[in-house]
Amino acid sequence: MMKSVKLFLVGVLIVGAPGLSLAATGNATFTVSATVPAPTSVSINAVSINATGTPVLTPVTGTALSLDPLAFSAVNQIYLPDHYFAINVGAAGGSAASTVVTLSYTEGSNPNNVAGGSTFGLGWKTVGTFAKELGTTETILTGHGTNGKKLIKDLSGETVTAAELGSGTFRLYLGIVTDNSAGAPVPPGAQTFSNSDKPGSYTGSLLVSATVS
């Protein structure tokens, strides 16, 4: 008599058996940083701005700031320019807390220094307006001259401090005096160009220096 043998296969699935780890844990701390660079230089540049119509700023190449041509106004009996300048001063190549700016003017040629002429040279006929630029906001620095305006002949070691500028930059508007009547917003002693002035070239030099604080 034959015997049959039956083989039973038993599969065992062990799930979550005690003492058996299927995963590992860990952590890492990352140091995140960014560095704002210090300025590498000071930027001093000028732009020309048209005197009438919508202001258009045109960069000036070099350091020659000519206010020519002057056109005679028969109505006002004075000579008027068609543009003026803005000199911009600030840190370059990086960030800075502020900038200290110093300005000094030296009178040059003056055709009026001849017999029969007035003694007034370019320094009496050109006015500088002091301003702080911060983003799109401009603030006149009224601590200089009359409401922020000063004849350039009076600029001798004129200092704009870091406290005045804060995180802003400095701008000096530079232009010919166009009105010296009583009550006009110009410094005392301002002179216009008129036919009482001798013909010729009136010159001067303006030294602008700046230090990042």
What tokens does 210 get? 């700046």
pLDDT at position 131 over 70: yes
What integer pLDDT is reported at residue 148 of this predicted model?
95
What integer pLDDT is reported at residue 79 of this predicted model?
97
The residue among 43 and 97 whose pLDDT is bigger is 43
Mean pLDDT along residues 43-57:
95
What integer pLDDT is reported at residue 7 of this predicted model?
43
Percentage of residues of the chain with pLDDT beyond 90: 69
What integer pLDDT is reported at residue 184 of this predicted model?
72
What is the Cα–Cα distance from 112 to 192, expressed in whole angstroms?
13
What integer pLDDT is reported at residue 167 of this predicted model?
87
Residue whose structure tokens are 């700023």: 57
For the segment 75-119, what is each residue's pLDDT rounded down to a tens digit?
Answer: 999 999 999 999 999 988 777 668 999 999 999 999 998 766 568
CA neighbours within 13 Å on the CB side: how many for 154?
17
Instruction: Report residue 3's pLDDT band, with 50, 70 and 90 as the boundaries.
Output: very low
pLDDT at position 9 over 50: no
pLDDT at position 56 over 70: yes
68 to each of 64, 77, 84, 105, how far by Cα in Å? 11, 17, 10, 19
Mean pLDDT along residues 130-138:
95
